[in-house]
Amino acid sequence: MGKRVSIVGATGYTGGELLRYLVRHPEVTVARVTSETFSGAPIHDIHKFLKGRLGLVCEKLNVNALAADSDLVFVCLPHGAAARTVASLLKKNTRVIDLSADFRLKDAAVYKRWYGAHPLTPLLKESVFGLPERYRDEIRNAPLVANPGCYATATILAGLPLMAGKLLARGPIIVDAKSGVSGAGKKVESRYLFCEANESIQAYALRGHRHQPEIEQEWSNAAGRDLTGSHPLTLVPHLTPMTRGILATLYAPLAKKISVEDLRDRFVQYYAREPFVTVLGAFESPETKAVSHTNHCQIGVALDSSGRQAIVISALDNLVKGASGQAIQNMNLMLGFDETKGLL
Amino acid sequence: MGKRVSIVGATGYTGGELLRYLVRHPEVTVARVTSETFSGAPIHDIHKFLKGRLGLVCEKLNVNALAADSDLVFVCLPHGAAARTVASLLKKNTRVIDLSADFRLKDAAVYKRWYGAHPLTPLLKESVFGLPERYRDEIRNAPLVANPGCYATATILAGLPLMAGKLLARGPIIVDAKSGVSGAGKKVESRYLFCEANESIQAYALRGHRHQPEIEQEWSNAAGRDLTGSHPLTLVPHLTPMTRGILATLYAPLAKKISVEDLRDRFVQYYAREPFVTVLGAFESPETKAVSHTNHCQIGVALDSSGRQAIVISALDNLVKGASGQAIQNMNLMLGFDETKGLL
Amino acid sequence: MGKRVSIVGATGYTGGELLRYLVRHPEVTVARVTSETFSGAPIHDIHKFLKGRLGLVCEKLNVNALAADSDLVFVCLPHGAAARTVASLLKKNTRVIDLSADFRLKDAAVYKRWYGAHPLTPLLKESVFGLPERYRDEIRNAPLVANPGCYATATILAGLPLMAGKLLARGPIIVDAKSGVSGAGKKVESRYLFCEANESIQAYALRGHRHQPEIEQEWSNAAGRDLTGSHPLTLVPHLTPMTRGILATLYAPLAKKISVEDLRDRFVQYYAREPFVTVLGAFESPETKAVSHTNHCQIGVALDSSGRQAIVISALDNLVKGASGQAIQNMNLMLGFDETKGLL
Amino acid sequence: MGKRVSIVGATGYTGGELLRYLVRHPEVTVARVTSETFSGAPIHDIHKFLKGRLGLVCEKLNVNALAADSDLVFVCLPHGAAARTVASLLKKNTRVIDLSADFRLKDAAVYKRWYGAHPLTPLLKESVFGLPERYRDEIRNAPLVANPGCYATATILAGLPLMAGKLLARGPIIVDAKSGVSGAGKKVESRYLFCEANESIQAYALRGHRHQPEIEQEWSNAAGRDLTGSHPLTLVPHLTPMTRGILATLYAPLAKKISVEDLRDRFVQYYAREPFVTVLGAFESPETKAVSHTNHCQIGVALDSSGRQAIVISALDNLVKGASGQAIQNMNLMLGFDETKGLL
């Protein structure tokens, strides 16, 4: 008998993408989907690809009902709003994958600086950061997994092999990231209109983007020491005219000369056993199209002409490996399925 | 009586964009258009927006005919191929705006490193780099103007106010540039197909892009000294799913703390009298859409959270201020018209 | 000394496109721009291409101020809302080009069926339908010009030469029209989000589109009799993933065999003296890209394999010949300028 | 033990899409992939989403090797070229799904009119038209299945319930079809470049499109009589700026008044047991995005305002239900798997 899962806040893009994978997953059934705005509406009226494929109707949030019927619940609520629902579900002994930012940061002070006061700081310790490439074993048994942000996933994966080694010189790390418009979620705002976003690129969040502390936290964890002083991160996200995809281009100063082949080998070895990370050839750039609608992250490694800057480029689908696909990967780990089930 | 101008290699995107501005320019008439591939075909069969508006037929290149009928000739040939045609026209005392790379670099050794041996090194001294914001007076009387590359224009303009002052610390300057597909010209190659380029972003030219030496040359000229040692440039271009537009994001280490308002003021003052450069508010990013189909460059200025990195973002239309519009601006200067004629 | 014009409701797409043409028009100055939502904001904060080019600030609507300072006012308000403002301006002897639907239909009963009761039926008689290809002379002296809808312009122009002759058999005329997203205006609704509209095509308004009665009115006028019984029109609009452009494909049953060349000749002769309508070769389809950012309409003529159906395809830019460019063309006529001034 | 399948001509878009489904199909393994142009190259260098997922190398075509190792072969060659390879495989008792047009038309004279003389007319009788909604049982045992064209699938499915009943009046049926650019295959031609196809719509094949006789054949088969005289089909395809998707809008004259609900019921009943066809609500248009990357066809049914024209709109992904997904569906039937295996 399969497992039963539910989605809180199922009508946004991450909810839709979860359903895309869940309806074809051989081991799980979707029990309930909730939406405050669209309660009473068939979920296929919002996600039209579900027509003829899933008959569920959106319900208002009811923690008791969810807990009774679900082995695991995906929470797709805005940050701040997610925390209390997550806590209520955990109290009912229901496992949760939270796609908001509420449980990603371990330090309540850092959370406060970027998001305001955290509503439930004690829970921060219990959650596991949902990046299987780092925390596979912890995820298996976690009651609460905090699914990482899309920019964070792309950037952390691009940098991990650098941080783990002793490759970098002191100095700034620049990450110039380009995202498709779905990264903003289904916000009905003027700047996300087709006629505004099409045929246009712009930078945004120039005063700082909220995924930055996730990256700093995880790179520092991998290095075993706080890197924010010696390797300050400058992260500039850009809005680009495509629906899906993130390309993150990372520039980092090298401590000493290294050949591009040696640099690439570090990445190949680091990710040798990972089912969803592929390292391309030296000087080969990934393309977001190649990972679109997949849970894969492709990484390219290069050196600038002086040999003093490493250039690492990662590409993933922000809605899949950057959000819902990674959540399915985490679900597979938590429920004891093969990690790649339903994702290949 | 107006002036007469001609275009050599009129069937590509820069040729088409020149014609878009020339057919509505009040002071000039298009005398001849040449194409080896499409000779005999009406130019409006290639550039369909000209239907009912321009009746010229493409001719094979004939320098005598061009010289006899033209006050000025735009040369839109590939690098290497352009040099000899330019030389022949100059010998006939016909003034030339060359849109290729053949006369942009002053140092034949640098040219050789990026393009191979230069066919006509003596002419390198005679050409003027066609960036009016730097060489307005020289352009007016030049027999030969070398129109800058699209990435070069966007990047040089973003960096000039930094190079002119004493703002920067030693250290690498990173330029992460994003271009629409028309930047590649009308090359019929697989990677420029709609289905390959749409919904995809990738980096390219990771071993070095040919516009880099133009930028180094012009920034060093502005600084009055060679910057390539103290401020090595890493330029990474990206192919993005839009037809037109370049957004260049420049990251440069600052020598000392400066407020973003002060930094922005340097830019405002530097470009105060420029008709085609606009500096936005602090922390405001330009959007390529806002400059699409215009000859304007918009520039945004920001600081990263540490205050140690300047972030400068420039946006222009690669086919206009990045190529043909700038060529019209140069033509206006060369032929004694108001610099903005036909461009506003 | 030039003329002064103002725009009521200047912050939408038609307002922006009017400004794109007006700031470079050699004979007019923009006096005032109004917006209820953005009053107090510089207009270049809404239309960012105006940065460094136009310093006007949005004002709340004040008919006295507009009338005092303007030779002509463009009204870009929603239907229903436009009528009273138009009437107030006319009372002050200020000429008006109304871009809403309020004065396009001559028959108040038809208006009522599609839009609800008309607020000012007496004015319907005074307005002139702003299609210069039909009403050039009336437009010159009109106090009020009703600028046609975008689908209406594309469809009427595609059909006029058929209606004027005796070419058609009794039977349905099908118009399958495809529009870019800007045809919906700057409505901040979910279905116009980039992620919803990109990579998608759908039909809409399947119960009837409001531009249909404009087309029926004008075709009947051209034929000199009511065509709605003998040649019922089926108009199905489609939303397509591009910012600008309309392609209307018209299918009409022919009364008798005619060669495609003869059919095309009817179109060539009908539009022989029109500066903004171009008839392509037989069996040649127009492309919306070729007319993008121009005031031109390109028309292709074909026959189906049986020779019994005429296929006529028209392309225009919905924001230019389909709205604001046509309004400038009407303004040129009304103010005594060359009809093409500022539009070529 | 699973089955083994191979692909002849695996480097185009249909080959890539077959591989997208085959690598995750639980019952089959890909044995061989061939390409004359890219023989020797890893298939993941052409289809980059396969990096880290499939290690096969492209081989030159070798019928013996294919026959020895494959239970079934997909042939993705151009029409004309496909026929002989298909015949050779059949001779080796290897079952074939041919994605070309070579075996779709039963009448060699009709084939000749559209494609030129058929190289192997005797085989026309043996092939089964690969539309499971019509020929499910025949497909199960067929040695050769001719996979339908993309426009043909969309149009046939939209029309079948009309042809099967007695709903239509004599008179023309208009099909105005809109396709994404991948419908043209991976042809490296100027008009399929991003900068040509983006932001543009045009009609093409105005002298007749090759999918027309497939539609006429299958509608006539469904009606039990030749419909080409009484219901002549006018099919006009349009190229639209998206990668994937077809929307076909069908206009057909009705024999008598019928309510839209009754008309829709005919469709609902006709497709009641079909896993991949969904009928939407009355007056609801399908969207190509809703079926993108799925094997589903969604159909909307409407009436024009006169009630005399049926409007039927079908949407599918041209690379999936319009090509490779349908081929997988046929493979499932031929190899005895559940028809939906690997497709949901």
Partner residue facing A287 (CB), from D48, D199, D291: D48
CA-wise closest residue to B43 among B59, B29, B28:
B59
**For testing contact with chain B, the best of C24, C27, C49, C314 (most B CBs within 10 A):** C49
Chains B–D, number of C-beta pairs less than 8 Å apart: 56
CATH value at residue B254? 3.30.360.10
pLDDT tens, residue by residue, D68-103: 999 999 999 999 999 999 999 999 999 999 999 999
CA-wise closest residue to C115 among C208, C183, C204, C35:
C208
CA dist., res. B221 & res. D134, Å (int)? 73
Contact D219, D157 (CB under 8 A): no
Strand partners, B7: B33, B74
CA dist., res. B92 & res. B64, Å (int)? 8
- Domain containing A47: what range? 3-126
In chain D, positions 279-338, which contact chain A (CB-CB < 8 Å)?
280, 287, 289-294, 296, 298
Does D113 share its domain with D163? no
Q: Which residues of B touch D195 (CB under 8 A)?
A: 13, 180-182, 186, 192, 243
Predicted confidence (pLDDT) at residue D165 exceeds the cutoff of 80: no
Q: How confident is the model at residue D305 (pLDDT cuts 50, 70, 90)?
A: confident
Predicted confidence (pLDDT) at residue B1 exceeds the cutoff of 90: no
Q: Over chain D, what is the mean pLDDT?
A: 96
Q: How many CA atoms lie within 13 A of C189 on its CB side?
A: 9
Is residue C163 included in any domain, yes or no? yes
Is residue C342 included in any domain, yes or no? no
Where in the sequence numbering do the catalytic residues of C fall?
A: 150
pLDDT value of position B344:
85
Strands D233-239 and A72-75: unpaired
Measured between its terminal Cα atoms, the distance across chain B in Å is 22
Compare all CA atoms of chain D with the CA of B239 and give the residue at the minimum distance: D194
Please tell me if residue A273 touches chain D, with a CB cutoff of 8 Å.
no
CA-wise closest residue to A292 among D80, D47, D311, C84:
D47
Count of domains observed in chain C: 2
Where in the sequence numbering do the catalytic residues of B fall?
A: 150
pLDDT tens, residue by residue, A111-134: 999 999 998 998 998 999 999 999
CA distances (Å), B207 to each of C59, C280, D329, in order?
53, 46, 45
pLDDT value of position A306:
84
Is residue D144 included in any domain, yes or no? no
pLDDT tens, residue by residue, A181-205: 999 999 999 999 999 999 999 999 9
Which of D69, D93, D126 represents a domain boundary (last residue)?
D126
Residues 6+ away with beta carbon under 8 Å from B240? A178, A201, A240, A241, B178, B179, B180, B181, B201
pLDDT tens, residue by residue, B10-63: 999 999 999 999 999 999 999 999 999 999 999 999 999 999 999 999 999 999
ipTM value: 0.96
Which of A91, A126, A161 represents a domain boundary (last residue)?
A126
Q: How confident is the model at residue B305 (pLDDT cuts 50, 70, 90)?
A: confident
Does A102 share its domain with A161? no
Does C166 share its domain with C280? yes
**For testing contact with chain C, the best of D113, D175, D195, D206 (most C CBs within 10 A):** D206
Does C231 share its domain with C106? no
CA dist., res. B331 & res. B338, Å (int)? 10
Contact C35, C76 (CB under 8 A): no
Where in the sequence numbering do the catalytic residues of D fall?
A: 150
pTM for the model: 0.97
Min Cα–Cα distance to chain D from C214, Å:
16
Encoded tokens for C331: 């303004």
Q: Say yes or no for a CB contact (<8 Å) between D247 and C199.
A: no
Contact C12, B254 (CB under 8 A): no
Please tell me if residue D258 touches chain C, with a CB cutoff of 8 Å.
no
Please tell me if residue B40 touches chain D, with a CB cutoff of 8 Å.
no
Does A231 share its domain with A311? yes
Q: How many CA atoms lie within 13 A of A84 on its CB side?
A: 5
Chains A–B, number of C-beta pairs less than 8 Å apart: 163
pLDDT value of position C171:
94
CA dist., res. C110 & res. A311, Å (int)? 65
DSSP A168: B
Q: Say yes or no for a CB contact (<8 Å) between D202 and C304.
A: no
Per-residue pLDDT 10s for chain C (344 aa) are 599 999 999 999 999 999 999 999 999 999 999 999 999 999 999 999 999 899 999 999 999 999 999 999 999 999 999 999 999 999 999 999 999 999 999 999 999 999 999 989 989 989 999 999 999 999 999 999 999 999 999 999 999 999 987 899 999 999 999 999 999 999 999 999 999 999 999 999 999 999 999 999 999 999 999 999 999 999 999 999 999 999 999 999 999 999 999 999 999 999 999 999 999 999 999 999 999 999 999 999 999 988 889 999 999 999 999 999 999 999 999 999 999 999 98
Q: Which residues of D touch B190 (CB under 8 A)?
A: 186, 188
- pLDDT over 70 percentage in chain B: 100
pLDDT value of position C305:
87
- The subunits that touch chain D, with at least 3 C-beta pairs less than 8 Å apart, are A, B, C
Is residue B227 included in any domain, yes or no? yes
Does D176 share its domain with D30? no
Does D246 share its domain with D283? yes
Rg, chain B, Cα only: 20
Contact B129, B321 (CB under 8 A): no
Predicted confidence (pLDDT) at residue B166 exceeds the cutoff of 80: yes
Average pLDDT over residues A23-41: 97
Which of C84, C109, C126 represents a domain boundary (last residue)?
C126
pLDDT value of position D272:
97
pLDDT value of position A294:
97
Is residue A281 included in any domain, yes or no? yes
Min Cα–Cα distance to chain B from A116, Å:
18
Q: Which residues of A touch C197 (CB under 8 A)?
A: 194
Predicted confidence (pLDDT) at residue A262 exceeds the cutoff of 90: yes
Please tell me if residue C189 touches chain A, with a CB cutoff of 8 Å.
yes
Contact C324, C318 (CB under 8 A): no
Min Cα–Cα distance to chain D from A298, Å:
8
Encoded tokens for D217: 């054949």
Predicted confidence (pLDDT) at residue D1 exceeds the cutoff of 60: no
Encoded tokens for C104: 């396009």
**For testing contact with chain A, the best of B113, B191, B192, B200 (most A CBs within 10 A):** B200
Q: Say yes or no for a CB contact (<8 Å) between A199 and C243.
A: yes
Is residue C132 included in any domain, yes or no? no
CA dist., res. A320 & res. A13, Å (int)? 10
Predicted confidence (pLDDT) at residue B137 exceeds the cutoff of 80: yes
Min Cα–Cα distance to chain D from A288, Å:
10
Does D306 share its domain with D186? yes
Does C108 share its domain with C187? no
Contact C341, C26 (CB under 8 A): yes
Q: How confident is the model at residue D41 (pLDDT cuts 50, 70, 90)?
A: very high
CA distances (Å), B124 to each of B77, B128, B145, B267, in order?
17, 9, 10, 31
Does B168 share its domain with B257? yes
Residues 6+ away with beta carbon under 8 Å from C1? none
CA distances (Å), C35 to each of B196, D304, D327, in order?
42, 38, 56
Q: Which residues of A touch D298 (CB under 8 A)?
A: 48, 51
CATH value at residue C121? 3.40.50.720
Does A160 share its domain with A115? no
Please tell me if residue B49 touches chain C, with a CB cutoff of 8 Å.
yes
pLDDT value of position B76:
98
CA dist., res. B17 & res. A106, Å (int)? 54
CA angle A61, A66, A67 (to 5 degrees): 135
Does A191 share its domain with A312? yes
Q: Which residues of C touch B293 (CB under 8 A)?
A: 293
Is residue D333 included in any domain, yes or no? no
Encoded tokens for D314: 């079908």
Q: Which residues of B touch D182 (CB under 8 A)?
A: 195
Q: Which residues of A touch C38 (CB under 8 A)?
A: none
Is residue D281 included in any domain, yes or no? yes
Assign C91 to helix, strand or coil. Answer: helix
Residue D100 backbone phi and psi in degrees, to 5: -85, 180
Residues 6+ away with beta carbon under 8 Å from D34? D6, D7, D8, D9, D10, D58, D59, D60, D61, D62, D66
Predicted confidence (pLDDT) at residue D146 exceeds the cutoff of 80: yes
Q: Which residues of B touch D180 (CB under 8 A)?
A: 195
Please tell me if residue A190 touches chain C, with a CB cutoff of 8 Å.
yes
Contact A130, A331 (CB under 8 A): no
Q: Say yes or no for a CB contact (<8 Å) between A242 and C198.
A: yes
